[in-house]
Amino acid sequence: MGNIIEVKKAVVKFLKEGIKCYDVTVIKIQKTGDNWNSVAEVYEDDSFLKSMNLPPKQVRLYYSVRMDADLEITSFERLNSFEGTDLTSEQNQ
């Protein structure tokens, strides 16, 4: 079972490798039972500008990452925003 520092490191590593983003800031970590829920703010290239071969511009996005007790990623998703995100209510749905 990991601690909060190990969870943060695992989230950053996963997002940097998985979505090829530049900067990752974990802004929320919550333990629910044996599982960990987190939200991270990331900066990555704007995919529209990239597809048009225009100079890249970084955009800020938010991702939710969930892990089990062994710090294995069980799910992740891009969020529309961080405002009002309540990880416990999402899990109860």
CATH of the domain at 58: 3.10.450
Q: Considering the domain boundaries, does residue 89 fall inside one?
A: no
Predicted model pTM: 0.78
| Residue indicated by tokens 């990623």 | 73
Are 5 and 36 in contact, with CB atoms under 8 Å apart?
no
State the Cα–Cα distance between residues 25 and 41, nearest whole angstrom: 5
Are 2 and 36 in contact, with CB atoms under 8 Å apart?
yes
| Mean pLDDT taken over the chain | 85
Q: Considering the domain boundaries, does residue 13 fall inside one?
A: yes
pLDDT of the residue at 57? 86
Per-residue pLDDT reduced to its tens digit, 55-84? 888 889 999 999 999 999 999 999 987 764
Q: Considering the domain boundaries, does residue 11 fall inside one?
A: yes
Domain count, the chain: 1
Domain that holds residue 74: 4-82
Q: Considering the domain boundaries, does residue 88 fall inside one?
A: no
Q: 19 Cβ partners below 8 Å, 6+ apart?
A: 42, 44, 63
